[in-house]
Structure 1
Amino acid sequence: MAPFASSLKIGPYAVDPAVVLAPMAGITNVAFRQLCREFGSPTSLYVCEMITARAIVERDSKTMEMITFSEDEHPRSMQLYGVDPTSMREATKIIVGEDRADHIDMNFGCPVPKVTRKGGGAALPYKRQLFRQIVRAAVRAAEPAGVPVTVKFRIGIDDEHLTYLDAGRIAEDEGAQAVALHARTAAQRYSGQADWSAIARLKEAVTSIPVLGNGDIFSAQDALDMVARTGCDGVVVGRGCLGRPWLFGELQAAFRGEAIPPGPALGRVADVLGRHGRLLADHLGEQKGIRDLRKHMAWYLKGFPVGAESRRALAMVSTLSELDDLLAGLDAGAEFPQDAEGPRGRQGSPAKVVLPEGWLDDPEDEMVPAAEDMHSGG
């Protein structure tokens, strides 16, 4: 297999291989990021959960706890969300002034109603001038400290309101160090197929900074196919690594032209689950950490011959010792199943995007939406 020739740089950081763990609410905390890094390359990017600019400015206690990185995590990559240039500027100043991150990724891709109804996430690039001002505010506030800013967005609000080409050009023009496209509209949410041809078109439109592709990467081969078909400079992986942190090892092998290792047997998956549980317990305390692990169980065990009773018990596990006992009862020799490939996590159905009243009336309107969300994590 020929190696993937990547010269991806995000500001001063060489991203090798050119793989980014997408921020996912309730998933990409410090424990999960560390687990992914243990399988993959320490020089890929692993982005924390979405952080709200206003919550940073107001020193919201939950948000300040969320911006936790392990001592050896470098570069520290934070995703920042906001709808107001002023709060984005002030939040960025705090982040760089207090040395809380080495890289800031701006979120303009979230499709959930509680975000879009306030003009945030995937709704915001439709307001081109406001989008420009927000990107400019973050880039200029981060520049003195040498912290690179990147921008992630979707194809648009829906098929009638596509925004990605303008968003890419504006981000490039305002000094973003890279852009990433989730090749779905907000109306699609996570349903259907990602339109990789849009990534190719964005790559043609944005020529001076890296363009990353996101959407439907569930295997190392999917990543290679995306690069081959779109010419993108790297990939962003979200739902494909749920219950599969070893995907980052497979991606590293694929991008370096090495043989992709076979999927792990159930005994190895049990080891990884145990490791994940301990990392979460270290991060959150045993009770809260093991409770947080429960949502990962179905993803880890997808396709494996695990009985309903064992699945129920693992989904209700409450202590590390109980976790160890349950994992020890699994069939360690069960091979990685073909059923474990393919889509993972939420998919749902397309839906009309919830927007502020009159949002679509004037794409040049610079007015800041009435209220900026305080809820970090997405």
Structure 2
Amino acid sequence: QIPVTVKMRVGIDSQYETYLDAGKIAADLGVAWVALHARTAAQLYEGKSDWSKIKNLVEHLAPTGVPVLGNGDIWSGSDAIEMVKTTGCAGVVVGRGCLGRPWLFADLVAAFNGQEIRALPTLFQVREIIYRHAELLTQYFSSEDRALRDLRKHMAWYLKGFRVERELRAKFGMVSSLLELRQLLDQLVDQPYPVAIGDAPRGRTSHGRAVTLPDGWLNDPEELVVVDGEDSGSGG
């Protein structure tokens, strides 16, 4: 058997919080873990995630024995430790926090092992991580051009907080080959990791928005609504 996990949000919005029911249904169906992002769908990434919802789900699923993973606003190893202590969750799920910061996972391992030394790379160390990232993407896509086009979206995250000239940043956003990337990386000036900015939220931080649901979706929570175009014959 292959273990199956479920990841969900608190609910549609503050009026329709479905996570406790959804978590229980998933647990009863035999999932191995339930992960909760402690915001509603309407919130997107607005404001702070409400870790109390994770605690509620941990307590709600305790009788089932299914462990809960917490998600939302994990930017450092200390954040993960605080979430576990606050909510009682069995572990954490990292999303936006690792964008341009793959060393966050080393930070998490150190934190959970009780080590105070954090993984804080210098810019020279980051540049080698960037180049290795590009090499691995090239292997994965079997195309240097496609790999470098994919890497472009990561560059602003990798360089966040570091002092890098605007013109050089712009060139990173247009890089098209490993050779060009190496030449640009070699122009960087080494400097310590900018903790205050580097550990700040990254990725999407947009304001919330109304959630669009299929017609009749909320008429009766017990009714099975089959959306047009998604019945068994459509493959939709």
Structure 1 residues 119-138: aligned runs within 5 Å: none
| 1:320 partner amino acid | L
1:309 alignment counterpart: 167
Q: Distance in 2 between matches of 1:172 and 1:278?
A: 41
Q: Distance in 2 between matches of 1:341 and 1:180?
A: 23
Q: Is the 8 A contact 2:104 2:119 kept in 1?
A: no
Unaligned runs of 5+ in 1: 1-145
Q: CA deviation at 1:176?
A: 0.9
2:40 alignment counterpart: 185
Check 1:302–1:374 CA distance in 2 against 1; reply closer, same or farther (3 A cut).
farther
RMSD: 1.5
Residues 1:171 and 2:26 aligned together = yes
SS across alignment from 1:212 = strand
Q: Distance in 1 between matches of 2:82 and 2:95?
A: 16
Residues 1:205 and 2:57 aligned together = no
For residues 305-345 of structure 1, the C-alpha deviation after alignment (integer angstroms, 9 at most, x for no partner) is 0010000000100000000000000012x110121112110
2:103 alignment counterpart: 246
- How many residues are treated as equivalent by the alignment? 229
For residues 166-211 of structure 1, the C-alpha deviation after alignment (integer angstroms, 9 at most, x for no partner) is 0111111111111000000000011111000000000000011110
For residues 30-79 of structure 1, the C-alpha deviation after alignment (integer angstroms, 9 at most, x for no partner) is xxxxxxxxxxxxxxxxxxxxxxxxxxxxxxxxxxxxxxxxxxxxxxxxxx
2:11 alignment counterpart: 156
Q: Distance in 1 between matches of 2:128 and 2:35?
A: 33
Residues 1:364 and 2:219 aligned together = no
Residues 1:291 and 2:149 aligned together = yes
TM-score, structure 1 normalization: 0.59
Larger Rg: 2
Q: Distance in 1 between matches of 2:82 and 2:5?
A: 24
Check 1:288–1:197 CA distance in 2 against 1; reply closer, same or farther (3 A cut).
same
Q: Is the 8 A contact 2:217 2:225 kept in 1?
A: no
1:220 alignment counterpart: 77
- Percent identity of paired positions between Structure 1 and Structure 2: 54
Q: Is the 8 A contact 2:106 2:119 kept in 1?
A: no
Residues 1:341 and 2:199 aligned together = yes
The structure in which a higher percent of residues are strand is 1
Q: Distance in 2 between matches of 1:295 and 1:368?
A: 38
Check 1:371–1:234 CA distance in 2 against 1; reply closer, same or farther (3 A cut).
farther
2:134 alignment counterpart: 277
* 1:327 maps to which of 185, 192, 198: 185
Q: Distance in 2 between matches of 1:365 and 1:213?
A: 30
Q: Distance in 1 between matches of 2:207 and 2:3?
A: 35
Check 1:345–1:374 CA distance in 2 against 1; reply closer, same or farther (3 A cut).
farther
RCO higher in structure (CA 8 A, sep ≥6): 1
Q: CA deviation at 1:260?
A: 3.1
Q: CA deviation at 1:261?
A: 2.2
TM-score, structure 2 normalization: 0.94
Q: Distance in 2 between matches of 1:368 and 1:220?
A: 43
SS across alignment from 1:156 = coil
Q: Distance in 2 between matches of 1:239 and 1:262?
A: 17
1:257 alignment counterpart: 114
Q: Distance in 2 between matches of 1:154 and 1:182?
A: 5
Unaligned runs of 5+ in 2: none
